[in-house]
Structure formats: C-alpha cells, structure tokens
Amino acid sequence: MNYYINMHKCTYPAAVILGAFFILSFNLSAQADNFGSGSNTFSIAFVDVGNAGNPADAASRNQLGAVPYVYRIGADEISQEQIELATAGGLLGVTAGAWGASQPAAFMKWYEMAAFVNWLNTSTGNVPAYNLTYNGGSDNSSWVMSLWSSVDAWQNGGQNLYRNKNAYYFLPSDDEWFKAAYQKNDGATGNYWTYPTGSDSVPTPVASGTAAGTAVYAQSLTAPPAPVKQSGGLSAYGTMGQGGNVWEWLETSVSGSNSIPSEDRVMWGGSSEDQSQVLQSMNSSPFNANPASENIYVGFRVASAEVGVGAAVPEPSTLALLTVGLGSVIYAAHRRRRPNRSLCRTAAGAAPL
C-alpha cells in the first residue's frame, strides 16, 4: 500500500521520465520519414532489414537474397497520392495514373520512379541516387540516364554504376527486394520462405485486407489493385504487398550488371491477376521491361540506407538526446517548485525517481 501511495506523490516526475521513454520508443519504432512541406507533406514508412552478410537463397533465380549490409525498405508500395504530393512540392516530369489516391502509383516509366527517388534525396539534403536528366515532354526521349563513375558509384556488395555511393533513398536491387520479401529473419542464415507472407503455404487470395497469410492475387483480369496499406499479410520483415497487387520495378538491369543505362529492368512480385506460382521465391522468370515503358499493373517501393548513414535526417541517438534533455529540463523545473522529495521513495526505501 505504501508503495502505491508514494508513487502517487511522485506521479508528475515519474510521468515525465516515462513519457520521455514513450516518445523515444515511438520515434524509433515508427520509422516514418517525412517529405514535402505544408499541405504537400507526406511520409513513407520503412522497416529495417538486418541480418547483414546472410547467404543467398540457393533455390532462387541467380542465387538471390545475399546482402552484406543493413538497410531499410518501404513497408508499402508507393501510392498515387504520394506521387501527386511530391509533384505539388516540386517534382518535375513525373506522372502516375490508372488508380486512385490510396492505390499503387503505376503507369510510370522506370525513369520516373528513379526521378521520384532522386527528389526524395534532394528535398531532404541528400545526393541524388541516379544520374538522370529530364529534357521535358512525355515521350521515350524525355529522360536520359548516365552511369556514375567508379569513384562516385555504389560499391557496397559490389560495384553498381546505376546508384550513387552517397544515395540515401534508392530503388531496391533484386537482392535487397528479395531478402525483404522472403528471408526468414531468424539470424544471418540462408533460410527463406516460399512466399512473401512469411510462409511456405500458398497465400489465401483476397481483393484487399491485412490478414496474415493473405495476398492480392488470382483476381479477375479487370480487378484493380488494393490500396497499398490493404494489400495482404506481412513478410517476416514486416513489408506488405511484395506478393501480388502490382508488379514492382527494381533498380537491377536484366543482365545484373547495371552497366548499360537503357537495358531492361527486372520486376518482381506479380499482380492482382497472377497466380500463386508467380509469387514464389523460386519463380525463375520474373518480368523485365524497357525503362521507358509503362504498365498499369507495375508499381514500385523505395529502399533506404540504414538510419544515420549519409543521411540528412535525425539519428536515433539524436532523438534520444533531445527527448532525455527535454525530460531533464521539465524535471528540474518541477524539482525547484517542490524541493521536498522525501516522499518519492518506495516502501523499501529506494532512491527518489
């Protein structure tokens, strides 16, 4: 009884400290990055993909899934609304169509998706991921892409002349995408699920929803994709919609070399009209297409470097210092107003909070 009475007398400073921890935990777990300003503000939620140095999936096409570094990947596909808000905020040369605001951004050239990623970087003070030039217009010659030099190119896990070494946001490579979709997230192992719903069982086909073990596929040929946050159950890492809904265009060229700017890019995941075998990790024939082409059932998601790596965003340590510092200021002010802290002890006589 005395413990609860004494805790009651210490409610305010205790609440400050607990509140600080709550704020810190919330910021660290949400992992949502904000973009734009004013009425054009939007956020992208990311999940961590750890287990750096994991082996590839031996059963997969080209031994996919090995990534030697920690990174983040979008929890959802990019939506039509996010493209529209970025465009209102200054993004040039990018259009998306075919679906509603909450549905996947589709009917976009690969170059347009790369331009959106570049805008995410430059609007937050980071380096563009891709060496793109926009010439105006909407035809196939409106975008020109050049390779980065070896000095400026991404080298982590092998040279990638498409991606700048200091890019913070980028389109996922086939290894990055594959790992987030299928790896079991049980340590640095080579264990992979068959489906991107954290299971070897065939997902239940649905038109939309978030139930575990479901995916948006096997629908009619005219069925629209689901909203990006209603596109099925989660992978082991917490991503949604990596199986079904819309195909997702990746950074990687069809040869895997990323050395020819105009080479076809691969896409994974299947769409709402595909069957279950297309969703499997051992699918041997994912689609590929010219980066200047468009399709209403092809969208994308964004990946990111690990928080604090070359990024103009607050690191977790910064959030911790700010939160604890704020709590300390409030606590000190309250202590000056009520100097008698003798009651702030437990029944066992522990030190004050």
Residues in the chain: 353
Query: Smallest Cα–Cα separation from 172: which of 277, 84, 51, 46?
Result: 46
In order along the chain (353 residues), what is the average pLDDT of each group of 10 residues? 33 37 36 96 97 94 93 98 97 92 97 98 98 87 95 97 98 97 91 97 98 97 94 98 97 96 96 95 84 96 82 40 40 40 32 32
pLDDT at 313 (0 to 100): 44
pLDDT at 285 (0 to 100): 63
Cα(344)–Cα(159) distance, rounded to whole angstroms?
59
pLDDT at 61 (0 to 100): 80
pLDDT at 283 (0 to 100): 82
pLDDT at 98 (0 to 100): 87
pLDDT at 345 (0 to 100): 30
Longest Cα–Cα distance of the chain, Å, equals 77
Residue 116, φ and ψ in degrees, nearest 5: -60, -45
Q: What are the residue ranges spanned by the domains of the chain?
A: 1-31+313-353, 46-305
Beta bridge partners of 231: 209
Reduce the DSSP state of residue 234 to 3 states and report it: strand
Homologous superfamily assigned to 46-305:
paralog of FGE (formylglycine-generating enzyme) (3.90.1580.10)
What is the full DSSP assignment across 38-63? GGG-EEEEEEEE--TTPPP-TTSTTS
pLDDT at 307 (0 to 100): 76
Reduce the DSSP state of residue 5 to 3 states and report it: helix
Residue 215, φ and ψ in degrees, nearest 5: -150, 155
Residue 322, φ and ψ in degrees, nearest 5: -65, -45
pLDDT at 62 (0 to 100): 84
Residue recorded with tokens 């297309």: 278
Residue 16 CB-half CA count within 13 A: 16
